[in-house]
């Protein structure tokens, strides 16, 4: 059964005037059924994915227990429409991904009834994908793997019933998700794309999960942060990061203060393209500048190194009244389209599916990044970092480019060694290697490449011979 393909006009904010065409009219390029399949090569593309989350409580720990306050008043139809309108104004016709929590799928109050109706209409008008988010980013920190599987199964059925017409989500949004649950998602639910890690997150919010690579990979059955090494530990689920972050800032632990000379600076390790740490901390203009600079680290330098690039962002609906700067979202998207005219915006599931078609396994993973600090927050302007990420390991080299200081290893994590996830409801699901960028252990002090043990240097020589170790 084909649903109506229009959006009701009542309650739209002033941002709705930026939507292409008369309000409520579906332009041919926007209609879900007219969007062309995502095909062709991965090389030569600059890709953005943009997600949003609709929830009832900040952390829906279980189906019946919550942390944080009831966000009903933040999830108004006006706020949801305003977010979608700001996105459409910046990138007309582009699709995005919506993830609803368990309670958002069940809550009978008017705001959530309206939210469920709106995501159906956004799917029809723009081709947006609609899916589930288990546990509000931290499902495995509070629930057994078996319970998470039950939640995924029953919630995906609710999403299909909500959308009608045989609809099935193309991906799952999860924050962190264990290897066993990603295996279940692929093998039992036939969904092969999951936002299943938050790259570099450690010491902030309700869970830790540092240790993965930041671009797509198939996870190992041993640990969701570890790329599968072969067929025996292979999980056919493309594991995606949730937020593109500044590599210089991301090496820090959580949020806090550090000294610059005699002064103290506040920092947030999640500084990147997300709205809280940029717009919320530094205002619309500096925040936008940081968002575009972080984008450029991938769409310029990263693109040259990898021959393609990806940036991802998530803006929960609850942030609309909190950050109060939706026009910055529009300006960021306009800036991307102006500076990189060939950039394209895909749903999370489309992007993961595209990557999966070109990568049957992790055998050809070879991601390289270089970034200099922006001078904002803890993105120190004098520092430059190089990251090398592949199936066997990840390696980060940092130096002060203003002083031409030698590079030091700040992270070396081997993936060819056994790994094991927590078996209890621990908050820390990180995979920490020989040296970890967060420096939470005595062994994490930076060192020269030549100071690494010979077996580590041998592995580096085998995959990165140009480093000459």
Contacts of 229 (CB under 8 A, 6+ apart): 220, 362, 391, 415, 416
pLDDT at position 17 over 80: no
Pair 131, 159: CB distance under 8 Å: yes
Pair 292, 272: CB distance under 8 Å: no
Chain-wide mean pLDDT for the chain? 91
Residue pLDDT, tens place only, 359-388: 999 999 999 999 999 998 899 999 999 999
Residue pLDDT, tens place only, 318-332: 999 998 899 999 999
Q: What is the mean pLDDT of residues 11-34?
A: 35
pLDDT at position 7 over 80: no
pLDDT band at 36 (very low <50, low <70, confident <90, very high): low
Length of the chain: 469
pLDDT at position 27 over 90: no
pTM (two decimals): 0.92
Burial of residue 80, with CB atoms counted within 10 A of its CB: 0-12 exposed, 13-18 middle, 19 or more buried: buried
Q: With b meaning 16 or more CB within 10 Å and e meaning fewer, what string describes 227-259?
A: bbbeeebbbbbbbbbbbbbbbbbbbbbbbeeee
pLDDT band at 13 (very low <50, low <70, confident <90, very high): very low
Partnered with residue 266 across adjacent β-strands are: 257
pLDDT at position 130 over 80: yes
Q: Tell me which residue of 415, 431, 416, 304 sits closest to 368, measured CA to CA.
A: 304
Q: How far, in Å, are 27, 87, 271, 304 from residue 97 at the CA level? A: 20, 12, 22, 28
Phi and psi at 455, nearest 5°, equal: -65, -35
CB atoms within 10 A of CB 67: 13
Integer Cα distance of 215 and 388 in angstroms: 11
- As a whole-number percent, the residues of the chain with pLDDT over 70 amount to 92
Domains and CATH numbers, the chain: 45-358 (3.20.20.510), 366-467 (3.30.1120.110)
Integer Cα distance of 150 and 93 in angstroms: 35
CB atoms within 10 A of CB 414: 18
């Amino acid at each position: 059964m084909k649903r109506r393909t229009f959006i009701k006009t009542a309650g739209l904010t002033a941002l709705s005037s930026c939507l292409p065409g008369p309000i409520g009219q579906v332009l041919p390029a926007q209609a879900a059924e007219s969007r062309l399949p995502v095909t062709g090569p991965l090389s030569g593309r600059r890709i953005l994915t943009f997600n949003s989350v609709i929830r009832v409580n900040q952390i829906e720990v279980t189906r019946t227990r919550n942390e944080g306050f009831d966000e009903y008043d933040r999830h108004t139809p006006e706020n949801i429409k305003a977010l979608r309108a700001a996105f459409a104004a910046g990138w007309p016709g582009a699709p995005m991904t919506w993830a609803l929590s368990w309670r958002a799928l069940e809550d009978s109050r008017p705001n959530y009834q309206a939210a469920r109706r709106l995501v159906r209409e956004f799917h029809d008008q723009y081709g947006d994908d609609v899916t589930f988010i288990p546990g509000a980013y931290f499902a495995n920190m509070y629930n057994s793997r078996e319970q998470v599987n039950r939640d995924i199964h029953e919630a995906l059925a609710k999403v299909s019933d909500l959308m009608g017409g045989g609809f099935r989500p193309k991906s799952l949004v999860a924050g962190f998700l264990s290897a066993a649950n990603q295996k279940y998602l692929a093998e039992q639910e036939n969904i092969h794309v999951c936002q299943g890690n938050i790259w570099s997150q450690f010491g902030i919010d309700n869970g830790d999960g540092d240790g993965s690579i930041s671009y797509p990979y198939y996870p190992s059955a041993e640990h969701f942060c570890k790329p599968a090494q072969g067929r025996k530990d292979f999980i056919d689920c493309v594991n995606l990061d949730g937020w593109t972050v500044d590599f210089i800032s991301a090496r820090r632990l959580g949020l806090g203060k550090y000294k610059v000379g005699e002064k103290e600076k506040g920092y947030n390790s999640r500084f990147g393209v997300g709205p809280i740490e940029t717009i919320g901390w530094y205002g619309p203009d500096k925040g936008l500048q940081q968002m575009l600079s972080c984008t450029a680290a991938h769409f310029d330098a990263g693109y040259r190194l990898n021959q393609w690039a990806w940036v991802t962002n998530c803006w929960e609906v609850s942030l609309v009244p909190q950050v109060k700067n939706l026009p910055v979202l529009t300006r960021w998207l306009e800036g991307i389209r102006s500076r990189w005219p060939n950039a394209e915006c895909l749903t999370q599931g489309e992007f993961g599916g595209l990557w999966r078609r070109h990568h049957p396994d992790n055998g050809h993973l070879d991601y390289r990044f270089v970034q200099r600090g922006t001078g904002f927050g803890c993105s120190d302007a004098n520092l430059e970092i190089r990251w090398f990420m592949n199936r066997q390991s990840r390696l980060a080299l940092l130096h002060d480019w203003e002083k031409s200081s030698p590079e030091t290893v700040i992270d070396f994590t081997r993936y060819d060694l056994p790994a094991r996830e927590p078996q209890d409801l621990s908050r820390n699901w990180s995979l920490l290697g020989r040296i970890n960028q967060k420096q939470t252990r005595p062994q994490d002090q930076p060192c020269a490449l030549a100071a690494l043990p010979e077996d580590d240097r041998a592995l580096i020589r085998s995959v990165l011979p140009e480093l000459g170790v």
